[in-house]
């Protein structure tokens, strides 16, 4: 029934209810989640269709995009709206909760864009040092 363990939360392994930060990182840390949230936040209050999201997320597979979006919806961070046409069109958007998460994520994105080069440099130095 469930697609992968990303949609059901039977993990309980990486998920520690006593540490909300780890619980959050377990969700946002999955490969495509942060990019999906970013795209949906930038588009808000507009919705984005499944195919459009897929186009804007190079490399994502159908399965993983579906899984990622399903997890976001399940977590109450995103909404799903189906147009009952043939073929169906499915639109996604962030909930207020999801939108409120984009602020903190934007802070993280800004730090990453400013400082990831330093981390890469540190790694190259470590490699050079053998």
Partner DNA sequence: CTGTATCCTCCCCGATACTG
Partner DNA sequence: CAGTATCGGGGAGGATACAG
Interacting residues with DNA (CB under 7 A): 1, 3-6, 10-11, 13-14, 30-32, 49-51, 54, 59-64, 66-67, 69-70, 80, 87-90
Residue 83 is inside which H or E element, if any? strand 78-83
Is the N-terminal amide bond of 15 cis, ω within 30° of 0? Answer: no
Asked if residue 90 lies in contact with residue 81, where contact means CB atoms within 8 angstroms, the answer is yes
Rounded to the nearest 10 degrees, the angle between the axes of helix 33-43 and helix 96-128 is 130
Min dist CB 84 to DNA, Å, is: 11
Nearer to a copy of itself among residue 19 and residue 51 (C-beta): 19
Query: Can you read off the two tokens belonging to residue 107?
Result: 């802070």
| Other C-beta atoms lying within 10 Å of the C-beta of residue 63 | 10
Q: Minimum distance from CB of 105 to DNA (Å)? A: 16
Does residue 85 belong to the site contacting a copy of itself (CB under 8 A)?
no
Asked if 62 touches a copy of itself (CB under 8 A), the answer is no
H/E stretch holding 81 reads: strand 78-83
Site for a copy of itself contains 100 (CB under 8 A): yes
Per CB under 8 A, 123 contacts a copy of itself: yes
Instruction: Summarize as ranges the residues that interact with a copy of itself (CB under 8 A).
Output: 9, 14, 17, 19-29, 31, 34-35, 38, 74-77, 97, 100-101, 103-105, 107-113, 115-116, 118-123, 125-126
């Amino acid at each position: 029934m469930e697609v992968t363990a990303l949609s059901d939360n039977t993990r309980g392994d990486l998920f520690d209810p006593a540490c909300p930060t780890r619980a959050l990182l377990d969700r946002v840390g999955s490969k495509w989640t942060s990019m999906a949230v970013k795209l949906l936040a930038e588009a808000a209050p507009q919705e984005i269709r499944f195919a459009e999201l897929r186009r804007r997320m190079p490399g994502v597979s159908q399965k993983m995009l579906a899984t990622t979006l399903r997890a976001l919806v399940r977590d109450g961070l995103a909404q799903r709206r189906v147009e009952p046409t043939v073929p169906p069109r499915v639109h996604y958007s962030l909930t207020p909760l999801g939108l409120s998460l984009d602020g903190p994520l934007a802070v993280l994105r800004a730090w990453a864009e400013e400082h990831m080069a330093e981390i890469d440099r540190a790694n190259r130095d470590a490699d050079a040092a053998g």
